[in-house]
Amino acid sequence: MSKMDNLRAMREARYAEAQKRSAAAPAKPAVKAPVAPPAATTKKASPEPAAATEELCGHRNMSGRTCTRESGHAAKSHRYS
Ligand SMILES: [Zn+2]
């Protein structure tokens, strides 16, 4: 079996299992939106903002560089890179 076949088989198995589970699980008793079709909930939840874009310390050193550590970093020194 090739790697691709293996991957596909795994995916299909997982998909079938998810289908089974959603079929077996009692439908949500709560509000049933009449219009909206059941959203295809994908495996991934909304991704969190990348850590790289988190707030930075922003401290500036004498040569105008900006600290690249995270805001409120524990390190005593600022990092300019
Ligand atoms: Zn800093």
pLDDT at 1: 59
Q: What are the pLDDT digits (tens) for 10-31?
A: 899 998 898 888 887 666 667 6
Gap from CA of 55 to ligand 1 centroid (Å): 11
Ligand 1 centre distance from Cα of residue 51 (Å): 16
Surrounding ion ligand 1 within 5 Å at CB are: 57, 59, 67, 69, 78
Structure-token match 């939840």, residue found: 45
Q: What is the pLDDT of residue 43?
A: 58
Question: Considering only CA atoms, which of 78, 70, 79, 67 is closest in space to residue 52?
Answer: 70
**How far, in Å, from the CA of 48 to the mean position of ligand 1?**
23
How far does the centroid of ligand 1 lie from the alpha carbon of residue 1, in Å? 53
pLDDT value of residue 29: 67
pTM score, whole prediction: 0.34
Q: Which residues of the chain fall below pLDDT 50?
A: none
Q: Is-contact 80 67, C-beta < 8 A? A: yes
